[in-house]
Structure 1
Amino acid sequence: MNDSLTRALYEEFPHLYSGRSRASEESSMCWGFECGDGWYALLRSLSKELTNYGSLNTQLRVEATQVKAKFGGLHFLLRESTPITDAMIQ
């Protein structure tokens, strides 16, 4: 994803994408969004949903560890997930 769209997601959802500053052993977000610009709108919508859910469920660490396109689909992995977050991602 281009730098402008990447920055927009990082700025709007800093907690969700906090792994971007971690070492690759801890989070693959250090590589950024490994997908094309066409995924931006979907990622922004999903990021809003996950962030809202995380703010209501503070015991859960809602943090993306990898976002990438693979075989024509989007793979979005969280540090901790629940059936609800899994459903949001699906």
Structure 2
Amino acid sequence: MGSISDREQIQADADALCAAAARFHQHSYAALTNPERLALLEKLESVTRKLQTPSHQLLNELGAQADPAELGGKLPWALADRLHITRAEAGRRIA
């Protein structure tokens, strides 16, 4: 699969991902059978794992390129503040 580096396309994909996640949040899953629930859980798990790759890429690029002045402080602190996670969790993700 090729790499997409167009800034507008990346933003459009992020917006579409957020919109899809919002729709999933609004669903009631009562109409599904148990096999359908398991199949959907499998798909959601697969997507969750796939999204870890761009997260790792973004963290690696921030670690390599970001200046603390640009971030408003050290990377773990900026990450914790921006993602609403603890500094310990931010440090774990960076390590």
The structure in which a higher percent of residues are helix is: 2
Using the size of structure 2 for normalisation, the TM-score is 0.26
Could you say which structure has the greater relative contact order, defined with CA pairs below 8 angstroms and 6 or more residues apart? 1
Using the size of structure 1 for normalisation, the TM-score is 0.27
Larger radius of gyration between Structure 1 and Structure 2: 2
The structure in which a higher percent of residues are strand is: 1
